Structure 1
């Protein structure tokens, strides 16, 4: 069974979406939005659902060395389910890192277990995280000032219901916008316009206690990881460490999905990435199913979707032996 077919069967079974409105999406539009304050270009890719009505917005932030292709698999499913998705590309921590000889050498070094070099280390700096956070805030500021981007009508965006998501460094970006407190400064960059968040491969706090770092994450938050979720870029971060943000967050509308044997690359949502293949059908279907339920509940007020997400009897339909879906 294909990913598409399995998604439709499971989604219909759980009542998350009706078979008649599944897999219908509108135009995809690329643009470059210029932040005059920072003299910085921010590439965006906009995915529209079918129709002309207003719809909630989901933002996606790629991982280190990524591009607008990051999150494609997830974003296609979310747009098909009725959400508008905007991918952001972050200059300084995007695919430009891989274009230089130094960047390619560092990539080969990481793949062989040699650790991270200066080029990649600099791209993971607090300054780059701050730039990413500002990119997201800039895009949210821009939406009300722009009527369209190509064939994509930005006037359809419902800014009262905004989701934030990202993979790896994009997950770190998502955590920062959700209210993570950083030990060195005691500061937070929380974005009040964001209603709910999904972090693929969350990052454990660096310095200070986990509880202090996560104490201000109050809105719904979904952490997604796997038992093989490690990366040479962060050799000291284990797969178990990816669960720490969820464990430390205050209770109330917090979820954790752990998929057995799923790797760091499985969650990028980019089948055209470093390894040139996507996640297994099971991983893809489990992620698509649970994230759509989460977005339908948090962004569309669908209580049936929340009930499906919370119902232990539904776990067999979405998870395999060794997978875990927790909430608190």
Structure 2
């Protein structure tokens, strides 16, 4: 899906404050977008545990170059906030994460007004909003698409879905909670998503060598969001991909165990192509990716239902 076309200039603006309630410290976001453009599609991005708005540039910059406005909040679990497992706030951070994404959606016009004041000249299309998340961010985004969290008795929790989010992509997202390790059960009891109600269109991206320390299952754990949710869904399986899928959080970061810039570019371009198709902008790139997968020489597999 990579091309030799010139990359259009993009602009990143940060930090932009976002109004929230009962959150200390407050919420800020980064906006990355083409320098100009009218009625551009939006990606709201949720980072993995401990990251921030300053991560994931290898993905975000390619999405902006593909014509998306990308809004990245720094969630409360970001390392810069110093909130560990022993902090009394940690047990509710999963809810704060979801609230962060709702706040971004609620104040999108205000965010864009601030970004334009700082030098961005793009406008957004409120009918073409998508959400993307990596790792814990994948579970966070799943909630906006309709997934719920099961309690210890297996009862689904409240509905956090947002109809304004027309499609999404879950990268290395949490699987179901029936195989959590004792550590995860103790510290991450909310890692029990119920995907049976995640009805919005979504792309699930999983590495076939991603072995989570939070689950006793193998890499198939990260495909639950595809197999256990209603259609329409697509699954992109990355050959030899581990949890950071080649280094999506950034170049040479400590968490990356399978550094591969080409793999990161594949993930970025696949998400952009899928979302442009799902948002009814242009299905050419997504169709081309599927055709290449069928040849067996692209280093990935695609399934759809």
The alignment's TM-score, normalised by the length of structure 2, stands at: 0.82
Counterpart pick for 1:173 among 129, 137, 140: 140
The counterpart of 1:263, out of the listed 236, 239, 242, is 242
Q: How is 1:11-50 mapped onto 2 (pairs within 5 angstroms)?
A: 19=5, 22-40=6-24, 41-50=26-35
- Are 2:274 and 2:283, in contact at CA under 8 Å, matched by a contact in 1? no
| Alignment pair present for 1:200 and 2:171 | yes
**Corresponding residue SS for 2:48:** coil
- Shift of the alpha carbon at 1:259? 1.2
Q: Does 1:161 align with 2:128?
A: yes
What is residue 151 of structure 1 aligned with on the other side? 119
Instruction: Find the counterpart in structure 1 of residue 58 from structure 2.
Output: 73
Q: Secondary structure at the match of 2:218?
A: coil
Residues of 1 paired with 2:242 and 2:166: CA distance?
Answer: 28
- State the 1:239 CA deviation: 1.4
Which of 207, 217, 220 is residue 201 of structure 2 equivalent to?
A: 220
Residues 172 and 121 of structure 1, relative CA distance in 2, 3 Å threshold:
farther
Identify if the C-alpha distance between structure 1 residues 35 and 284 changes in structure 2 by more than 3 Å, giving closer, same or farther.
same
Q: Structure 1 residues 197 and 47 mapped into 2: Cα distance closer, same or farther (>3 Å)?
A: same
Assess if the C-alpha contact under 8 Å between 2:142 and 2:170 holds in 1: yes
Q: Distance in 1 between matches of 2:20 and 2:197?
A: 31
Alignment map for 1:83-232 (pairs within 5 Å): 83-91=68-76, 93-96=77-80, 118-119=85-86, 123=90, 125=91, 127-146=92-111, 147-149=113-115, 150-153=118-121, 156-184=123-151, 185-186=155-156, 187-206=158-177, 213-232=194-213
What is the rounded CA distance, in whole Å, between the counterparts of 2:209 and 2:237 in structure 1?
Answer: 10
The alpha carbon displacement at 1:46 in A equals: 0.6
TM-superposed deviation, 1:33: 1.5
When you count helix as a share of all residues, which structure comes out higher? Answer: 1
Superposed displacement of residue 269, structure 1? 2.9
The gaps in structure 1 that reach 5 residues or longer are 1-5, 10-18, 104-117
- Measure, in 2, the Cα distance between the counterparts of 1:27 and 1:134: 26
Distance 1:307 1:258, change over 3 A: closer
Report the Cα offset of residue 278 of structure 1: 7.7
Superposition RMSD on alpha carbons, in Å? 2.8
Please point out which of 37, 49, 73 is paired with 1:64: 49
SS in 1 for 2:21: coil
Count the aligned residue pairs: 283
2:31–2:69 contact (8 Å) kept in structure 1: yes
Change (3 A) 1:36 1:227: closer
- 1:200-250 C-alpha deviation (Å, 9 max, x unpaired): 101112259xxx922222221011111221344x25353111011111111
Partners of 1:245 and 1:300 in 2: how far apart? 23
SS of the aligned residue for 1:131 comes to helix
Residues 224 and 318 (structure 1 numbering): CA distance in 2 closer, same or farther, change over 3 Å? farther
1:53-85 deviation digits (Å, cap 9, x = unpaired): 220100111111111133211111110111111
Q: TM-score, normalised by structure 1?
A: 0.77
CA distance in structure 1 between the partners assigned to 2:208 and 2:249 by the alignment: 17
